[in-house]
Structure 1
C-alpha cells in the first residue's frame, strides 16, 4: 500500500476514534481526498498521543547479530519478510505488502504534518503555551520518523559530498495525501531532521514528562540530536548535544534496585527514559517474540558480561537449552524499545570524549554508567591507556548496554564499517552459510514493492 492510500485509510480510523469524544464540529471536509482534519488543541493532542506515534522499524532487529534462529523449521515457517531479513536476501518482502516499517512510520509523518498545517491555518490560540508545545511536539514527531526512515531505507551519512548525491527518502512536508514526492538526497534528509528538532527545542518543556513519556521534552530533543550527529560521525556536535541533554536530565537507574527475576524488569516510566517508543507492532511476532520458538541470544555477547554485571540476568533468560532476550525498557513481551534514554547519552558522551583523546572525561562518564550496572562491590572502574583502547571498550559497552533496542546495533555496525572496522555478519541455517559483508548494499532495506509500484520512486539497489 502506498503512502497516500495508507494515510487515507488510517485518518478515517483516527477520525472515528476522536469523534467518540468530540462534537460534530470537530472535523470538516478537505478537498480532493475528502480527508477530515482536526482543529482544536485537544484534537491535536489526541492525534499525537496515538499509539503509532514514535514507533520505529523492526527490520534492523531481524537483521542484526544479537540473536540466532535455532532451527531451519522455525525459519521456514516464518513470513517471507522475516525469513529474508534474517539471511539478508536480495528480495526481502517476496510479495509481502503493507510493510509497517515504512507505512506506520510515514503515518507518524502524516499526523505531524496535519497538526503543523492546522496550527498554521488556525492562527492564534488562547493558550499560547499549549499551542507552542503542540507545535514543538509535531516537529519532534516528524524528525523522529524521518530519522528512522533514513537510517533504514537510505545509505549511511558518510560525509557531506557523498550524502549530497546518495538517495534518501521522500520528505513529505505537507498533509496533502495527493502529493507524490520523489526521494530527496541523504543530505537533505538529515538537514530536515536537524532543522525540525531545532525548531522543536525552544517550544518543548525543560523537564521530562514523567507520566507522559511518549511526549517529547528538551532533554529528549537534545538526545535525538546527539544520536543523529553520532550517526553522521560529527562527534563534536554529538558531544555538545549529549551535554545539553545531561545538563537537564542525567538520571540513571541503580540496577541493584531492579527485580532480576521479573520477566519484564523495567517500567515504561523508569527514570532513564527520555522518550518512550517501541518497535512497529504485529509484524514480526512469530520469530522475535513467540516464547515457544527457538531463537537464542548470540553466545559471544552473552558471555561478554562479567561476574557481578546485573545486566546478564536483567536482559536475558534461560529457556531450556536456549538463552533468550527479555524485553528491556519496552515493559512488554512483544515489542522492543526504540526510544531515547540517558544510558545511551552517557555512552555517546564517553565515546565523543575519547575520540578527542580526553580519556579522563571519557572514563568518568563510562564509569558513572557502569557502577549502576554492577552488584555491590564487584564493580571495578575502567581505565583507558589510550584513545584506541577507550573506543574499543566503549563499543563493547554500547553493545552490552543497548541490547535488544531495535535499530541500535544495526546502525552501529554500519557506522563502524564506514570507519574501516570490516565487521562481517554470518548466519548458519539448514546446512548453509550466509554472509553480509562490510559495505554491502543490503544494509539498506528495500522500499516496499507496493510503494514502488504506485509512487514510482526509485528502488534501493540490492
Structure 2
C-alpha cells in the first residue's frame, strides 16, 4: 500500500520592526508531522480536519464574520472591547503584518487548504486501493474541492481589492495565491506569487463546479454536516452574484430553490440555534459545533455570556428599517426605549455550541430576486422570491403588497439588509454595490485591505505586500 507522509513545514522568518529588533517567527502548516494516509479512515480524518479548519473561530466560525461587521456600517462598536494589536487596528483600518488575529486567520485558512490538497493528491494519484476507496473517491474529492474554494474565496474578500462588477473579465488587481498543490516535503511549493482577483474567481468557480458535479455523481444532494451538491450550487450563486454575473447567479440560486430540499423556517431564529448534526430546513451549509468543540466565535461579540457589554450594538437607524409588524424587529434586534440602544438578538443566547450557518435558503431567495432584476429577466418568480422572505418575517401580519417594477430593486436591497444583518454580509455587499463602508470610506479604499502576515512575507519570496 502506498503511503503519503505529511511533513510539518517550519522555517525561521526574520524581519525588522520599528524598534530595530529582529524577531524569529515559525510558519507551520499545521499538518500533523509524519501522519501517514494508509486507509480510507485516515483520508476521512484529514478531510474532517479541513472542516475543522473552516470551523475555527479564526476563520468562518468567527472572525470572518466579526471583522466584516467591524468594517461595515450596521453596528456601533464598544471601543473598550477592542484589543490592542488586534481588533482595534482592524476597526481603525490600520492593520500591520504582526496582528495576531490576522496571522491566525491567514495561516489557519491556508492550513485548511493544504489539507484539502493532500486529500485531492491521494485521490488523483490513486495512493490507496480497494473497493472502499473507489466508493468514496468522488465524494471526498468533491468535498475537498468545495472547502478549498470556500477558504480561498473568503480570504480573498479581506486581502484583495473587491471584484469590480463593471469590469468583468479584467480584474487584474492583486488577489491571493491560489494553492492547488500539497506541501509534502520541506519548502516545496511555498514560493508562489499572488494570482489576480480575476484568476482567483476563475479558480474558485472551477473548483466549485467540479465539486458540484462530483457530489451529484456521489448522490450527496444535501448534508447537515458536510459539503453537498446543493451547497456547491449555493456557493456558486454567492460568488457569481459577488462578481456581477447575475445570469449564472440566478441559475444556481434557482437550482437550490426548486430542489425541494430546503424551505424557510417559520421560526426566524431556528437556523442559528442548532447544534451537532441537527440542521434547520433553511440551512444549506453549516459548520457543526458540539459541546466538545464550542468553537462558534460569533455569538459572544453580540451577546457576551459573562454579563459584560457586547462588542456590537446596532446603529440607531436600524430601528427604522423594520416595520412594527415585521417579526425581525423583535427577533433580530431589541430596541431599549430607555437607553436608546439597539441590542442584537440574532445570536441570543451566546452559546458556543451552536452551529454556524454559512449559507442559507433565504440568501438564495434574495440572490435570485436581485439577479433577475439586474439581468433584465423579471418574472412573477422574481416577485415571489422577494416576497417569500418578507412574508415569512411578517407571519400572520402579512398583507399582500403591490410594488412597481421600478421600486422592486430598492425593495430587494433593503430586504437583503433586513434579513442578512449581522451575518457578515453587509461589508461585502456594499463593495459589490460600490457603496461606502463605515465612516464613508469608499468601497475600494486600500485602507480596507488587511496586511499580509509577516510569516508569509518572509517565507514566500514572490509575495507582494498590500499598500
- Partner residue of 2:180 out of 173, 178, 186: 173
The question of 1:270 aligning with 2:280 is answered yes
How far 1:382 sits from its partner (Å)?
4.3
How far 1:107 sits from its partner (Å)?
1.7
Instruction: Quote the Cα distance in structure 2 between the aligned partners of 1:216 and 1:112.
Output: 13
How far 1:46 sits from its partner (Å)?
2.1
Match of residue 366 from structure 2? 347
- Partner residue of 1:225 out of 208, 221, 236: 236
The 3 A distance-change label for structure 1 pair 316 and 424 is closer
Match of residue 361 from structure 1? 381
My pick for the range that moved more, 142-151 or 152-161, is 152-161
How far 1:244 sits from its partner (Å)?
1.6
- Partner residue of 1:392 out of 407, 410, 420: 410
- Counting only pairs closer than 5 Å after superposition, residues 300-311 of structure 1 correspond to structure 2 as 300-311=317-328
TM (norm. structure 2) is 0.79
Match of residue 113 from structure 1? 117
The ranges of structure 1 where at least 4 consecutive aligned residues each deviate by more than 4 angstroms after the TM superposition are 3-9, 92-95, 205-210, 256-259, 264-268, 278-289, 317-320, 327-331, 333-336
How far 1:242 sits from its partner (Å)?
1.0
2:227 aligned counterpart, secondary structure: coil
How far 1:144 sits from its partner (Å)?
1.0
How far 1:331 sits from its partner (Å)?
8.1
- Counting only pairs closer than 5 Å after superposition, residues 21-420 of structure 1 correspond to structure 2 as 35-50=34-49, 51-53=52-54, 55-56=59-60, 57-58=64-65, 59-70=67-78, 72-75=79-82, 78-89=83-94, 91-92=95-96, 95-96=99-100, 99-121=103-125, 122=127, 124-127=129-132, 128-158=134-164, 159-163=167-171, 165-176=172-183, 178=187, 179-180=189-190, 181-205=192-216, 208-210=221-223, 213-249=224-260, 251-256=262-267, 265=273, 269-277=279-287, 290-291=304-305, 292-294=308-310, 295-317=312-334, 321=339, 322-328=341-347, 332-333=351-352, 337=356, 339-355=358-374, 356-358=376-378, 360-376=380-396, 378-387=397-406, 389-406=407-424, 408-417=425-434
The 3 A distance-change label for structure 1 pair 97 and 323 is closer
How far 1:423 sits from its partner (Å)?
2.6
How far 1:138 sits from its partner (Å)?
0.7
After superposition, give the CA deviation of every residue in 1:65-120 in whole Å (9 maximum; x if it has no partner).
221124x4444xx232201221222x356653762321221122111001111122
Instruction: Quote the Cα distance in structure 1 between the aligned partners of 2:348 and 2:280.
Output: 8
Instruction: Quote the Cα distance in structure 2 between the aligned partners of 1:64 and 1:336.
Output: 24
Instruction: Quote the Cα distance in structure 2 between the aligned partners of 1:98 and 1:439.
Output: 20
Q: Is the 8 A contact 2:163 2:243 kept in 1?
A: yes
Instruction: Quote the Cα distance in structure 2 between the aligned partners of 1:330 and 1:341.
Output: 20
How far 1:232 sits from its partner (Å)?
0.7
Instruction: Quote the Cα distance in structure 2 between the aligned partners of 1:138 and 1:361.
Output: 34
TM (norm. structure 1) is 0.79
Q: Is the 8 A contact 1:349 1:362 kept in 2?
A: yes
Q: Give the CA RMSD over aligned residues.
A: 3.2
Structure 1 residue runs without a partner (length 5+)? 13-33, 427-434
Structure 2 residue runs without a partner (length 5+)? 1-7, 11-25
The count of residues paired between Structure 1 and Structure 2 equals 413
